[in-house]
Structure 1
């Protein structure tokens, strides 16, 4: 049996909150600096904060988090940066899913603890790509692991943006495992594929889960590196594209692509399924959905 790992849990939870604070500050600064384009005269966007709670089956406290959402900004049409730390007992569906993944002892003792950060940004300018990032730590009485990643979701693709985004993620991976980037890029290509559409939801990134090398410090350090790579990977692309002129056809392409994004998150995304199955605040779980989308 694993140890309670209270110190490690606290460090991980505090790190995710610190990362959230840095990203929120950077995004609000980006809003302040947007002085051109059709939304420049609008008030700079600001995050609205709401505490979230997860109720245990007996009605007791099972943790919660902080939901941070900005809507209708100059740069961001909708962006959410959520953090949570929850605990309790897994429901039958989540228990079976983890048992199928080989999590030891979960059938006998379904207690869990989980903490993480989840971010999704949908942009005003169709030339500026949507983006997703999350990192998390999960603990059960018999196991612990880390997971997460980041992926870029442009509706209008620029090869140089894709290359730049992947280059930063590769640097983050290379400092922790010679094969990490190739492995986790391939995993992202597989994970973010939309089977019923026969295509990927974006231009990829990295994805990893069930990461437990036996060295908690090393795995935590890698997870922090992924989180720290997000702003250097995403902000330069946003700053380059946010003033690109766009037309009605560009906006139409963006709305249709958002439909694809919504389909993936509602049908396939592990985090969505886990959050809803374990009783977390549905508004926080579904924060990833775009404000507007279109199907043709």
Structure 2
């Protein structure tokens, strides 16, 4: 089967990887896993899993001496930390995107020399990229790759924020600090009857991590099972995507990493002729 092949240890570059697919496959698999996490994120945000919440009717008395309850509250009640549920999925997505770049970097190094453990280089400021130990190691072992990353990829916050976010959020996640804000839970398709009044296809919203009062009556409330809860997620204050919508932004990051790998594949292809 036709394909691109990197030079062996006897070739011009002295590398140990012999096929272009070996350079790219690990990185592409990591991107594919990230895509799966993002799909799960989208699905759970659009239809909050039932193990995370319940809709319950609470009874109470306005006066302690009353024989029967005279206050009936229909509430959204979280059964688990909704933010942490989504934080785990988001963290996995960012980790896989970060690892995709590391996989590529390590494999690319092996097209020109022996196996070495090195991370993809990043810097908060682009003019500081060359000062980092990781970049200097790459520059020493594979100067063409270092130059290409510096001039074309520009993996710094002030030049490529989406790519920088991959390492920033991955590091936060490793230190258990990555917690996006579940800003709003919206419960829709609420159908209820109380005191002769009928409510059809109603909606109510509030914090996904707290109880949300949906309806109050002085007589019992009957409600249907067809309600649906969804969540709008925003990144936590103080992160690189301060207050921005999670699903849109993580989709943009995914696209950036995918296109970056396309660019890196084009760069490495001549080394695998």
What is the TM-score with the length of structure 2 in the denominator?
0.30
Task: Work out which of the two has the higher radius of gyration on C-alpha atoms and give 1 or 2.
Answer: 2
- Looking at secondary structure, tell me which structure has more strand per residue: 1
What is the TM-score with the length of structure 1 in the denominator?
0.28
The answer to which structure, 1 or 2, has the higher relative contact order (CA under 8 A, 6+ apart) is 2
